[in-house]
Structure 1
Amino acid sequence: MQPDRRGLTGPAVTLPARLLFSCLLVLLATACTSLNQRLDGTARQAGLVALTLPGGNHALHSFERQTAGRHALVFIEGDGRPWRAGGRIVSADPTPANPQALKWLQQTSGPALYLGRPCYGNAALPACHPTLWTYSRYSPVIIDSMALGLKHWLDQHPDIESVTLAGYSGGGVLALLLGERDLPVSRVIALSSPLDIHLWADQHGYGRLFNSVNPAEIDSWRADRERHFYFGAQDAKVPPQLFAEAVRDIPGARLHIIEGIGHQCCSPAIWLSPTTP
């Protein structure tokens, strides 16, 4: 059902209604600015350098750690807040209030990139539309943009020969899809990630992401990639038992279920450790 717009357009709009509408716009803009400032502040505290990577029609709000090395870690953030009010209202800005992947980057060493997602950190740009962080969040348009951004970054760092893609939650879905592109990816780490996005939507009673690529439906995977899937045993958002079968359908994929942790699985101390189970 479409909202009733009577009294909100045309000459019948009263001054209080105009003021209310203006206030709503200001509140939305303030909320977006606050989220962006929080993201930038977290990056600055970690000594990261902000940069904008060209991603076709999108400018990717990203951060890097500039140190020497031939292998880089590339982190991809989760879905943040694409909806609000229990999924009934599309968010004006999906930028996460708690950038988990960015915080994990701080716990690593060596060259690293926090690869921005289209419209995250800059949802007010003209090319941004709510479909890009809702139903199309894992679409070819998104993957194309991020692939261009990552390639540009690698072109600026010719000493880096290979990368590990580490994606948290929905960012892990993007890492899997990005890992199938013609990029020097040696390993993909998917952390608390719903490999089957249709199964995930059905589990929670959400509408399916009809304009996104479902990794569980990929028939052929590149053989030159190492793929690890980490789940918290107590994760209620992405229960490991629900997605374990889909992981096993990927040739060479390795499943890791970590006890005593929920959806915030897993920090680099776990998946960078040589003793990881």
Structure 2
Amino acid sequence: MRILLMVIACLWLLTSCASQELAERTQPVASLFSQHGFVQRDISTPDFTLRVWQSPAVDAKDMRVYIEGDGLSWITRYQPALNPTPLNSIVPFLAVKDTLAGNVVYLARPCQYVSLAEPDCRSVYWTHARFSPEVVSAMNAAVTRLKQEAHAEHLMLIGYSGGGALAVLMAAQRQDVDAIVTVAGNLDHRVWTDLHHLSPLHDSMNPPDVWQKLQGVRQLHFVGELDQNMPPSIYWAYRTFFPAQADVQMQVIKGFDHKCCWVERWPQLLREHFN
């Protein structure tokens, strides 16, 4: 009985600490979105509950969906994180700076910002299966619902880092995407894991494998000149699958790395390419 009580006490302490840590990561993001009038909601899909922040409703035909990166996937090279909610993500800041679109949506990845008590919140979904079919399906289900509710006609998917892979994979399963935009996007995780000597993402789909379904979709991929995490070679590994005439472009931004200085330049980059 004494041992059982000690185990229960330890579990309660771990749960309490995890809840506090999640609240600490969520609060700054929720505050940022609240300051810009974004509304928080959770969308349930058959596999996951996804956290969304959505700009104030307006009568507009275009919608831009900002897809979060991988978040905190690993604590060490061999130990997965207990909570994949991002630390200091730049994606919320990109979303609130987008004033050109009528409807702006921030879409978190499975198990980010939500209770880890969710039945399918297993670490495989932010490690080896982060781009799995069930993840892509859930993200697309959320986008479809949001688009229908907003009566939007034009859809742009904007993905940062690992969110870039999802933007491509999601678009390949849709017929309504006008453009794919990635920022420091992971466009070929096989090349990426080889480059950094990481474990292969065995349970994940890979963007180059769906290239044939994307030949008619405009794609613009921003890459930081100094980005050692997602260098231009990742883009070229992906681009080589497409014919030369395909509208698949890369723009290398001088002086930028994986995080710096996308937020500061984002409004200008949007005006230059999508005004």
Normalised to the residue count of structure 2, the TM-score between the two structures is 0.87
In structure 1, how many angstroms separate the alpha carbons of the residues matched to 2:52 and 2:211?
A: 32
**Structure with the higher fraction of residues in helix conformation:** 2
Determine if the alignment matches structure 1 residue 269 to structure 2 residue 267: yes
Matches within 5 A, 1:12-91: 13=3, 22-65=12-55, 66-84=57-75, 86-91=76-81
Matches within 5 A, 1:129-208: 129-158=122-151, 160-208=152-200
1:123 offset after TM fit, Å? Answer: 4.2
Question: For this pair of structures, how many residues does the alignment match?
Answer: 264
Q: Which moved more, 1:262-271 or 1:61-70?
A: 262-271
> CA RMSD for the aligned pairs?
2.3
Unaligned runs of 5+ in 2: none
Aligned CA distance change for structure 1 residues 123 and 129 (closer, same or farther; 3 Å): farther
CA contact under 8 A between 2:188 and 2:234: conserved in structure 1? no
2:256 alignment partner AA? I
1:242 offset after TM fit, Å? Answer: 4.4
CA contact under 8 A between 1:55 and 1:147: conserved in structure 2? no
Between the aligned residues of both structures, percent identity stands at 23
CA contact under 8 A between 1:162 and 1:185: conserved in structure 2? yes
Give deviations 1:64-106, integer Å, cap 9, x for gaps: 112231111110011110111x333211211112231111011
> 4+ residue runs of structure 1 moved beyond 6 angstroms?
14-18
Aligned CA distance change for structure 1 residues 242 and 105 (closer, same or farther; 3 Å): closer
Aligned CA distance change for structure 1 residues 155 and 260 (closer, same or farther; 3 Å): same
Normalised to the residue count of structure 1, the TM-score between the two structures is 0.87
Q: Which has the larger radius of gyration?
A: 1
1:269 offset after TM fit, Å? Answer: 2.5
CA contact under 8 A between 2:70 and 2:109: conserved in structure 1? no
In structure 1, how many angstroms separate the alpha carbons of the residues matched to 2:111 and 2:126?
A: 8
Give deviations 1:117-162, integer Å, cap 9, x for gaps: 221111422221111111111011001001111111111111x111
